[in-house]
Structure 1
Amino acid sequence: MVGAALSLVAGLATAQQAPGGGQGGAQGDYNISARSDADKALPNPYARDETYFRIPKTMNLGGTSGIDFDHDGKSIWIAQRCGGQDYCIGSDADPIWKFDGQGRLVKHFGKGLITYPHGLHVDRDGAIWVTDVRTNTHEQQGQSAKRIPGAKPNGAQVVKFSPDGKVLLRLGVQGEYGTDSAHLSQPSAVITAPNGDIFVADGHDSAPSNNRIVRYDRTGKFIKAWGGPEDMNCPHALAMDSQGRLFVADRGNNRILIYDQDGKLLDTWKQFGKPSGLFIDKDDILYSADSQSGIRQQNAYIRGVHVGSAKTGKVTAFIPDPLGNPTPWFPLRGTTGAEGIVAGNGAIYVSQVTPPGLAKYTLK
């Protein structure tokens, strides 16, 4: 079990499906005809490092969507799902891990504090923010959350930790979904502005989801919210450029929404794929991780990472998902490839949910 998990981390795995899949023809790029000529022509100047992240044999990496740099600019934090795909309920594992600048696991914490880790953000003071999408008190998509009898309600929250794992702040009401200013409902992502204001992408791709952006001051006091099902569908990730503009991965609508910090819509971009993860570096380079495009999504992209300018919107590179684009009989579930993403120091670091994995990309 451990060896299998480590091989997935190292190589991001390969599809365990023979050509043809036994159900209707050879596996191929089933969405390529819908792609624009410009998207097909994008170069991939990056090579994958399969050995960078090193995990002890006594630990298993779970599905991982949350990833960010430490405030030292070298170390990396992730939020992983306790060795599994989804819930951490009943697990003895720590969901929050830190790797040093050489890819060695050096710290972990958070056991029992997070139900379903999703987004992760490190602020300018070094605090670690984690979004906890689902509760341990409600059924989700027809599946029971399997709450441990007598356990304290948890989930549907954003938790701020010190670098040593102390809880500093909670947003939302633990274990309760809701639509008012006190509650959150499946918060997917969090980011902080230079002045300390907090922005939460409050929604995921299963009910109940508020599909809104919530803004708080640095103390957690509610300021305002905007959006709703008519404006966005699964706001899955957040990024902020040098101008302070807020980029929202409107995954369910295959686009990026760009707002000012008061919620005014400034632009809509569809050239970066179906975004699951977003990151903007100090030079305003935008990285968009697409973990869901394919035949079922009926859009004009394939899975992978688009790289381009956060200033102009021009896309300049594309890294294909190493698993390839899914076929109608694809053996894995709906999300594969890079879901979380950060970039810096001449490299791109990605995290994935299915199969669980981490990887580093550098220029060839």
Structure 2
Amino acid sequence: MGTRRPARPLDYRPPAHQHGSRRAPDEGADRARPNREIPMTKRTRSWFLLLPGLTLAAACAPEAAEEQEAPADPTDIPDPAMAGLPNPAGEVMADWVDLPDEREWGSTAGVDVDPTDGHIWAYDRCGGVGLAGGCAETLVDPIFKFHRETGEILASFGAGLFVLPHGIHVDADGNVWVTDSMGTVDKGHQVIKFSPEGEVLMALGQPGRVGTEPGLFNQPCDVITAPNGDIFVSDGHSGQNANPPEGSTGRIIKFSPEGEYIMEWGQIGDGPGEFRTPHALEMDSQGRLFVADRGNHRIQIFDQEGNHLDSYYQFSRISGLYIDADDNLYAIDSESNPNNHDGWMTGIRIGHASEDRVTAFIPPHAISEDRPYGYAGEGVAADRDGNVYAAEGPISLAAAGGGLTKYVRSEGN
């Protein structure tokens, strides 16, 4: 598989506005304590090289950034995907893997690469195609591990534990974290950590309970772990519209490796440190936290104390993020259209975590008269060979077929 480069700890604190808030260590401790306390080691990412002509050296980023003049309104920019960028994908496999027992795929929005062996983790919402999924009523395994070359199912688990799986993250030890962004009376609105074999190691949040106080979630979208084991959860899925439902939230919550509440920051809005659906999380080699602020058509970047460092606007209306060990950044857009992001295409934009610049683009597949914008997933990941994986969401899947699309890297590149 090659040598994995461990993520470097965050070693700087540039001047920025502080958006985080802390509670005293003993305040709300009982509510914030997880179901089980399991320590975690450092997180790394599997690595691979992009096409030689597309690999971005971080050392070149400052010069490239200086060549770009920021507009007065950072959202008033053309879609870089319209500029004829190279496409690294040579083949589109829209129905890459099958589920067991001739089971039909439902919707999915999450995919990740296992850093211990390079294989692919994803989930299926138990056959449900609509936004609500089908896991609340159907006792089948929603979480799957697939062989990255053959698509063979290597593991499955999670039956009866979820309402709507949403975000998925595999840590450095191969443990699988999944958020549940909806709830019923007795389950949902949680973040669950599994061993690679499917044993529940930790559960954050209280099953079926919605709230914004420590220890509770309101539609958790995604989860990621830092090199020191700290846990970050993006919370609030319903806030991306101009008039979000009452009670909606948009925040990032930080926990210790044992699951103890530390701090949080954010609210619904469009300023720095504010969100309209923080839909996905990633972390680069410097330990910076990248947040896909989907409703605001941007990526926001923070240090691990909640200080806002930067915002990127070139990557469109982002549903999913992936950053590899070389800091190549993949951002997938599943929603852009004339109604909510006019002039921009769905698809996968590729760049480097060090700068707001897109250097490659994988366009949507299955473009037709009935679907002029084609199909693009909500979740994205890339393996060490440069193949890209997209998790098809509830809108595209109904017509595109196949829960996971595999974009195979072009031969000879």
Which TM-score tier does this pair reach, normalised by the shorter chain?
0.7 to 0.9
Do the aligned partners of 2:127 and 2:134 also contact (CA within 8 Å) in 1? no
Q: Give the one of 177, 200, 205 matched to 2:233.
A: 200
Q: Give the one of 315, 320, 330 matched to 1:277.
A: 320
Q: Comparing both structures, which one devotes a greater share of its residues to strand?
A: 1
- Aligned residue in 2 for 1:129: 177
- Residues in 2 aligned to 1:56 and 1:159: alpha-carbon distance in whole angstroms: 23
CA RMSD of aligned residues (A): 2.2
Equivalences, count = 312
Q: Give the one of 181, 197, 214 matched to 2:214.
A: 181
Aligned 1:48-67 pairs, distance under 5 A: 48-50=91-93, 52-67=96-111
Aligned 1:225-264 pairs, distance under 5 A: 225-230=264-269, 231-264=274-307
With CA pairs under 8 Å and 6+ residues apart, which has the higher RCO, 1 or 2?
Answer: 2
The one-letter amino acid of 1:103's match is: G
- Aligned residue in 1 for 2:49: none
- Structure 1 pair 202–57 and aligned structure 2 pair: CA distance change class (3 A): same
- Residues in 1 aligned to 2:375 and 2:135: alpha-carbon distance in whole angstroms: 20
Deviation, 1:60, is 2.0
Deviation, 1:90, is 1.3
Do the aligned partners of 2:319 and 2:333 also contact (CA within 8 Å) in 1? yes
- Residues in 2 aligned to 1:300 and 1:214: alpha-carbon distance in whole angstroms: 33
The one-letter amino acid of 1:350's match is: A
TM-score (norm 1): 0.81
- Structure 1 pair 48–357 and aligned structure 2 pair: CA distance change class (3 A): farther
Do the aligned partners of 2:140 and 2:159 also contact (CA within 8 Å) in 1? yes
Instruction: After the TM superposition, list the runs of 4 or more consecutive aligned residues in structure 1 that deviate by more than 4 angstroms.
Output: 329-332
- Aligned residue in 1 for 2:257: 218
Aligned 1:1-364 pairs, distance under 5 A: 36=78, 38-41=80-83, 42-50=85-93, 52-85=96-129, 86-101=133-148, 102-137=150-185, 153-205=186-238, 207=245, 208-230=247-269, 231-324=274-367, 336-345=375-384, 346-353=386-393, 354-355=396-397, 357-364=403-410
Runs of at least 5 residues in structure 2 that lack an aligned partner in the other structure:
1-75, 240-244
Deviation, 1:65, is 0.9
- Residues 136-193 of structure 1: CA deviation (Å, up to 9, x unaligned): 13xxxxxxxxxxxxxxx10011001111211111111110110101111000000000
- Residues in 2 aligned to 1:331 and 1:71: alpha-carbon distance in whole angstroms: 36
- Aligned residue in 2 for 1:23: none
Do the aligned partners of 1:134 and 1:156 also contact (CA within 8 Å) in 2? yes
- Structure 1 pair 322–342 and aligned structure 2 pair: CA distance change class (3 A): same
Do the aligned partners of 2:317 and 2:341 also contact (CA within 8 Å) in 1? no
- Residues in 2 aligned to 1:75 and 1:277: alpha-carbon distance in whole angstroms: 19
- Residues in 1 aligned to 2:222 and 2:152: alpha-carbon distance in whole angstroms: 25
Do the aligned partners of 1:35 and 1:300 also contact (CA within 8 Å) in 2? no
TM-score (norm 2): 0.71
Runs of at least 5 residues in structure 1 that lack an aligned partner in the other structure:
1-33, 138-152
- Residues in 2 aligned to 1:299 and 1:49: alpha-carbon distance in whole angstroms: 26
